[in-house]
Amino acid sequence: MSTDLTARPGPVPAGAGPGRVLGLSTPHLRTTADADATAARLAAVPGVPAGTLVATTWVVGPPRHLALVVLAPSGTSLPDALVADLLAAAGATGPDDAVAARAAGGDADRVVVLPGAEHLVGVLDVGELLRRSALDVVVGLGGLVVPDDAVVDTRGHVRPRLAGGQLVLDVQPARDGRWVPFESPVHRACCSAH
């Protein structure tokens, strides 16, 4: 999938519709690392429109697992043949309408594939993060909007959330006045005893 920031997803309007949003039932995905690898495979499926987002969301279960959602940009759609290819690439048991409905409303937990993500490597200021990608805003813990001149060390791992149709990168303070994405690039099981 090539980077085309003119095909930014922009706000995802409520009721974005079944032609643009596909939830995938993937009960075999139990870790974010597995989900990230699957999301990358989905983005590489021939025919996926430029500017498409691929996100993950937790499903309580049973079993507790990660589901995937594919959000095509405005003015594009996901034809039936492409949907079949996406289901196969994800190893999905079928579409997941509940996941699709949540994403169509403008919300998803972790966006793994987004336009410009390949340019979000290293130490960049917030303004550059926003210019290089489809990110809409960078927010610190507690909801603080981080200024454009603040420095973020991406650690090569940027996983924004989709909130109200906007791509929001949550960051936390780090050393030397810098910020880092809230999600660490090192995947650790969290709350695995629950």
Contact, 8 vs 115, CB < 8 A?
A: yes
pLDDT band per the 50, 70, 90 thresholds, residue 15: very low
| Residue with tokens 């643009």, as numbered in its chain | 20
Q: Cβ of 28: how many Cβ atoms within 10 Å?
A: 14
Tell me the residue length of the chain.
194
Tell me, what's the pLDDT at 9? 43
Tell me, what's the pLDDT at 189? 60
Please, what's the b/e burial string for 83-109 (b: 16 or more CB within 10 A of its CB; e: otherwise)? bebbbebbebeeebeebbbbbbbbbbb
What's the mean pLDDT when you consider all of the chain?
Answer: 86
* Domain range summary for the chain, segments of one domain joined by +: 5-113, 117-181
Q: Over range 101-114, report the average pLDDT.
A: 91
Side-chain-side CA neighbours of 143 within 13 Å: the count stands at 1
169: nearest Cα among 144, 149, 188: 144
d(CA 126, CA 146): 7
Tell whether the model's pLDDT for residue 192 goes beyond 60.
no
Tell me, what's the pLDDT at 172? 95
Supply angle C-alpha 120, 124, 125, rounded to 5. 125
Tell me, what's the pLDDT at 194? 44
Tell me, what's the pLDDT at 17? 43
Give residue-wise pLDDT tens across range 69-98: 999 998 898 999 999 999 999 999 899 998
Give residue-wise pLDDT tens across range 126-183: 999 999 999 999 999 889 889 999 999 999 999 999 999 899 999 999 989 999 999 9
| Residue with tokens 């996406």, as numbered in its chain | 86
Tell whether the model's pLDDT for residue 193 goes beyond 80.
no
Q: Cβ of 64: how many Cβ atoms within 10 Å?
A: 12
User: Which three-class secondary structure state does DSSP give residue 85?
Assistant: helix
**Any bridge partners for residue 172, and if so which?**
180
